[in-house]
Amino acid sequence: MGRDPMIVDGSTRKDKGQRAIVDILENYGTILGLVIICAVFSFMTPAFLTRDNLLAIVAQSSAIGIISIGLTFVMITEKTDMSFGSCCGLSGMTTAFLLSRHLHPVPAILLGLCVGLIIGLVNSWLVVHLRIQSVVATISTQAIAFGLAYLYSGGVDIHDGVEAPFTLLGKGFVGPVPMPAVLLLVILAGAIFFMNYTRFGRYLYAVGGNPIAAKFSGIRVQSYEVLAYVICGVLASAAGILMVARLGYGAAYTGQGYLLDGFASVYLGCTILKRGKPNVVGSVVGALFMMILNNGFQLLNVDFVMQILAKGAALLLIVTTHSLLALKKD
C-alpha cells in the first residue's frame, strides 16, 4: 500500500519549516543572542538603556571593532595574529610619548600607525617567508611589543600632552554620534568595499580557501598574506591611538585585555553572512556583542573573573549551537 499523500505532504511541510528555522538560527543566531542579552540587561538594571550608557557602549565597541576588522583579514587567510593587543598598546604609548614631547598630533598619529605597519611586516616575514607557525611567531612579537612599551614608559602612564585637539578623536561627536563610532564606520565601509567589490577581497578568500589552487591561478599568495598582516597591524595601531584619545593617557597595558574579545568577535562573526567564514560585518557585530556583555556586567558589578567565565561560556554556547545547527542541516 502507498503512503497517504496528505501525510507525506504534512511531513514535507514540517521538514521545510524545520529547515527554515535552522537557516534563521544559523544566519542570525548571534544577532538574536545580542537582542536577548540586551533584553536581559535592560530588565536587570534600568541604567542599561539610558542614552549615556548606549553612547558609552558604542564608543567602547569602536576600538575592539577596528581590531576585529584587522584580525578578520588575517584569519581569512587561515592564519592568526596574537600580537594585536600589544601592538595596540605600543602604538598608543608611542603616540602619547610623542605628544608629551610637543609633537603635532598629525605626525604623532602617523608615527604611531607606523608601529603597527612595522609589526605587521615583521609578523608576515616570520610567518610567510620563514614559515614559522603563526601562533608561535605572533606570540613572540606580542611579548616583544609589550616589553618595549613597558621599557620606555617605565610602567608609568603618560598624561602630558594628551589633550585637545587630539582627544577629540576619542571624546568628540559628529552630531549625536561619538567620533570613535564614526571612525569605525568609515573603516568598516572601506573594508566592506575592498572585500566585496574588488579583486583584493576575492583573491584573499581564495588564498584562505585553497592557497595551492590560488597560486596555480596566478594569485600572488604570499603578497596577499603579507598585506593581511600589515592591515591587521595598522588597524590595531589605530585602535590603540583611539584608546589613548578616549582615555586621555597612554599606558603600556592598553590592549592586553583585548585578546579574548578580539578573537571572540571574529569567531562570532563567522556565524553571520558568510557562514563559517570570517567577514568584517560579522566581526563588528561580534565586537558589539562582547562590549555589551562587558558593559552589562560592569553595571551589575559582576566580579572580573566571573565576567571572563561568562564571556567564555557565552562564546562557547553560540559557536557550539551554530556548529550543531550546521550538522543538523547537513
Can you name the residues that pair with 177 across neighbouring β-strands? 174
Predicted TM-score (pTM) of the model is 0.89
Q: Which residues contact 190 (CB under 8 A, 6 or more apart)?
A: none
Cell of 188: 568598516
Residue pLDDT tens, the chain, 330 long: 455 555 545 556 656 656 666 666 666 667 787 888 899 999 999 999 999 999 889 888 999 999 999 999 999 999 999 999 999 999 999 999 999 999 999 999 999 999 999 999 999 999 999 999 999 999 999 999 999 988 877 778 999 888 989 999 999 999 889 999 999 999 999 999 999 999 999 999 999 989 999 999 899 999 999 999 999 999 999 999 999 999 999 988 888 888 888 998 998 888 776 666 889 998 999 999 989 999 999 999 988 888 888 888 877 877 777 677 666 655
Integer Cα distance of 33 and 40 in angstroms? 11
Q: Which domains does the chain have, with CATH numbers?
A: 29-323 (1.10.3470.10)
Name the 3-class secondary structure at 162: coil
Evaluate whether 90 touches 240 at the Cβ level (below 8 Å): yes
- Closest listed residue to residue 229, CA positions, set 141, 139, 124, 90: 124
